[in-house]
């Protein structure tokens, strides 16, 4: 998992509340065992028409959002069923951070375990970012996890909160497996001692 420290990126806006995980990655695409390859199916039912053509009315199909790595979304983002494929799809599409007034708890935890930062700002702050994005071509934000702040080049600045443990894991690039392997010397020592105990028994 790539560490997340300070990220500056192009902003894309999906100003819709209650975006659920089945819209983020529809159930028919949950067939892969790898974490990669899901980006092409992100928001599939919204990005494409029933005949498979790109829907120009969907915000993420707007050419000005091409290459965006920060998504601004509505409240309760990631609600619905618990599927880790949702952050996999968002990350594979190129997003590193999601800004919204609120997130579904399980979705937010899944994001942080996969190197994707969900950060909650107030509705007023999110609204201001949406306004700025609509007025500024190639609008960018800087997300600083070390300082726990979101800023732009025109004076916007807002703090955000994150748990100390989740912050540590993101800063160090540690998923659950990486966190376990960081204790490999202790694990090896325990296993060696345990083997001796079993043999002597």
Domains of the chain: 6-174 (3.20.19.10)
Confidence of residue 1 (pLDDT cuts 50, 70, 90): confident
Q: How far apart are CA 123 and CA 165, in angstroms?
A: 26
Give the per-residue pLDDT at 179.
Answer: 67
Rounded Cα distance between 97 and 93, Å, is 12
Q: 195 pLDDT exceeds 80? A: no
| DSSP-derived secondary structure for 145-176 | TTTTEEE-TTS-EEE----HHHHHHHHHT--H
Q: Map tokens 């920060």 to a residue.
A: 70
Enter the pTM of the model. Answer: 0.89
Contact (CB, 8 A) for 144 and 198: no
Q: Tokens in use for 36?
A: 């990669």
């Amino acid at each position: 998992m790539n560490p997340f420290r300070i990220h500056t990126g192009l902003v894309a806006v999906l100003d819709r509340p209650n975006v659920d995980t089945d819209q983020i990655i529809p159930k028919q695409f949950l067939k892969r065992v790898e974490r990669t390859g899901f980006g092409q199916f992100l928001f599939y039912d919204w990005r494409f028409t029933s005949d498979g053509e790109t829907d120009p009315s969907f915000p993420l199909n707007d050419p000005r959002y091409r290459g965006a790595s920060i998504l601004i979304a509505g409240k309760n983002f990631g609600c619905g069923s618990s599927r880790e494929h949702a952050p996999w799809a968002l990350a594979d599409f190129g997003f590193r951070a999601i800004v919204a007034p609120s997130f579904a708890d399980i979705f937010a935890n899944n994001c942080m375990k996969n190197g994707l930062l969900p950060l909650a700002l107030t509705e007023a702050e999110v609204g201001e970012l949406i306004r700025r994005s609509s007025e500024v071509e190639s609008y960018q934000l800087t997300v600083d996890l070390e300082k726990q702040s979101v800023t732009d080049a025109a004076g916007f600045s807002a703090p955000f909160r994150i748990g100390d443990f989740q912050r540590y894991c993101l800063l160090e690039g540690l998923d659950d497996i990486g966190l376990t392997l960081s204790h490999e010397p202790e694990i090896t020592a325990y296993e060696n001692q345990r083997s001796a105990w079993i043999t002597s028994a």
